[in-house]
Amino acid sequence: MTGWICFGSFLLLLVLWFFFKGGKYKQLFADEHFVEIAQGVVGMKQAALDDINDPEHATPPDANDGRLLKTSAGLVIYYDITKDDGRFVHHYSISVAGGYTAHAVGRTFAIFVAQLLGVPLDVLTLVVTESSIHHVEFTLEPSSQAEFAARPVPVVTLADVPEYRKQGMEANEKVTWQRPTTE
């Protein structure tokens, strides 16, 4: 009996080690990945600002679309802005290419992108779909849009990542994710 308990404990530790230290999650949560995302958000924001459409004429992304960021760790972020009744509706989605997006991944990077864009948490609508894609939306009035467009995305270095993580964890406790009944 003791042998089975030891064997089970060993397997549990091995699985936990792989989950937290190995594979895809290690790449996704690496400090270098946060820096890569921050650098990518600069171009995504500008591309979205350059391609504002009304909702009926929004264009879907293609592989070369500047509004689409695919990171080296397999994270996919798509950011677009539409203009509706004079207001600017910003939307971005977070997913993992070719697979399930764990909520820890989606919420971490949804909040990180909001931090980079300088958007207060209380204006965000956060939705995670049944297919595990995490969606974030916020709306800006024209005066706020002009300020938003002029505000640069901060440069993030490896030394900055721990503070972003800390702020992100604190922010995560203050937000609520909606789960729609259908997609």
- Every domain of the chain and the residues it spans: 24-172
Confidence at residue 1, expressed as pLDDT on a 0 to 100 scale:
63
Angstrom distance (rounded) from CA 83 to CA 111: 23
Pull the structure tokens for residue 81: 């802005």
Residue tagged 């989605």 (tokens): 93
Confidence at residue 15, expressed as pLDDT on a 0 to 100 scale:
52
Helix/strand/coil for 66: coil
Angstrom distance (rounded) from CA 77 to CA 162: 21
37-48 pLDDT, tens per residue? 999 999 999 999
Pull the structure tokens for residue 22: 């190995």
Strands across the sheet containing 87-96: 68-70, 75-84, 87-96, 134-140, 125-128
Beta-strand relationship, 87-96 and 125-128: unpaired
53-92 pLDDT, tens per residue? 866 766 677 778 889 999 999 999 999 999 999 999 999 9
115-167 pLDDT, tens per residue? 999 999 999 999 999 889 999 999 999 999 999 999 999 999 999 999 999 99
